[in-house]
């Protein structure tokens, strides 16, 4: 819960607005790309691609809602609805984690146990962050819920990093550097979220809010469209390694 929109300058307002619009374009553009490229990967990887498409479609929907909510607060009837981001994450984060595990193609028991643990941890992370997000910028509640939510956040990153490192030996030669790079990309892009969350604790004014909103939008662009394109690239390279080629 941030400052009233009347406190924003036109530049501040438009920066958030343009980044939200960029997020819509990135989600929809990647969604369109995957619709038509889905059959360019072997059938074994297509479920992961479909999950990407679901994530991008749901995120595009929420970013369209965020865009409208951001503009409509100018009417003074309703405040900006921060809830859209949390509802979006509640659905898309477990899906993104599941597709990552699927594309790594670990053994069945491992896959199931990983997806379950990561899904539970991500739902906890988001549910615990939400009450803090709805608290005023400098409040103790924002700090306390934020710290509690960091526990499942760090657990997820730890599990992902360890498991992806372990899986490196089983990946075909051409894919190793991509999977290895992906570990770091996940670490870096995910770190945007706690930074954006805690910025209003340091700067409770409009600048803090603008950084938070912009930070979340940029993080979502990296963690969804950019991440889904990397998953596609891994699936495409693995398909090529299996001598798969698209039908005429």
Nearest to 19, CA basis, from 228, 210, 230: 210
Minimum CB separation of residue 165 from its own copies in Å reads 27
- DSSP one-letter code for 7: G
3-state DSSP helix/strand/coil % of the chain, to nearest 5: 85, 0, 15
Is 162 a binding residue for its own copies by CB under 8 A? The answer is no
The answer to whether residues 49 and 235 touch, using CB atoms and an 8 Å cutoff, is yes
Nearest to 130, CA basis, from 156, 149, 155, 154: 149
Minimum CB separation of residue 186 from its own copies in Å reads 22
Is 28 a binding residue for its own copies by CB under 8 A? The answer is yes
Is 245 a binding residue for its own copies by CB under 8 A? The answer is yes
Minimum CB separation of residue 149 from its own copies in Å reads 19
Contacting residues for 21 by C-beta, under 8 A, at least 6 apart: 67
Is 24 a binding residue for its own copies by CB under 8 A? The answer is yes
Nearer to its own copies, 57 or 155 (CB): 57
10 Å CB burial of residue 107 (0-12, 13-18, 19+) is exposed
The alpha carbons of the chain give a radius of gyration, in whole angstroms, of: 19
Binding window for its own copies (CB under 8 A); candidates: 72-80, 136-144, 150-158, 163-171: 72-80
Is 111 a binding residue for its own copies by CB under 8 A? The answer is no
Minimum CB separation of residue 246 from its own copies in Å reads 4
Task: Tell me which residues touch its own copies (CB under 8 A).
Answer: 10, 14, 17-18, 21-22, 24-26, 28-30, 32-33, 35-40, 42-43, 46-47, 49-51, 53-54, 57-58, 61-62, 65, 71, 74, 77-79, 81, 83-84, 87-88, 90-91, 244-248
């Amino acid at each position: 819960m941030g400052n009233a929109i009347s406190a924003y300058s036109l530049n501040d307002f438009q920066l958030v607005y343009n980044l939200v619009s960029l997020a819509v374009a990135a989600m929809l553009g990647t969604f369109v790309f995957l619709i038509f490229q889905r059959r360019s990967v072997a059938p074994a990887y297509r479920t992961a691609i479909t999950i990407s498409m679901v994530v991008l479609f749901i995120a595009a929907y929420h970013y369209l809602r965020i865009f409208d909510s951001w503009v409509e607060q100018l009417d003074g009837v309703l405040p900006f609805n921060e809830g859209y981001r949390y509802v979006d994450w509640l659905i898309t984060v477990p899906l993104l984690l599941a597709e990552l595990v699927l594309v790594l193609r670990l053994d069945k028991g491992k896959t199931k146990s990983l997806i379950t643990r990561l899904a539970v941890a991500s739902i906890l992370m988001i549910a615990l962050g939400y009450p803090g997000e709805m608290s005023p910028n400098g409040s103790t509640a924002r700090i306390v819920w934020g710290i509690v939510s960091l526990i499942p956040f760090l657990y997820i990153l730890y599990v992902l990093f360890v498991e992806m490192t372990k899986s490196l030996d089983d990946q075909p030669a051409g894919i190793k550097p991509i999977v290895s790079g992906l570990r770091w990309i996940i670490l870096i892009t995910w770190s945007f979220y706690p930074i954006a969350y805690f910025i209003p604790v340091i700067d409770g004014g409009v600048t803090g809010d603008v950084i938070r909103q912009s930070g979340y939008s940029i993080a979502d662009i990296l963690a969804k469209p950019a991440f889904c394109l990397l998953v596609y690239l891994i699936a495409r390279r693995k398909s090529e390694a299996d001598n798969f080629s698209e039908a005429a």
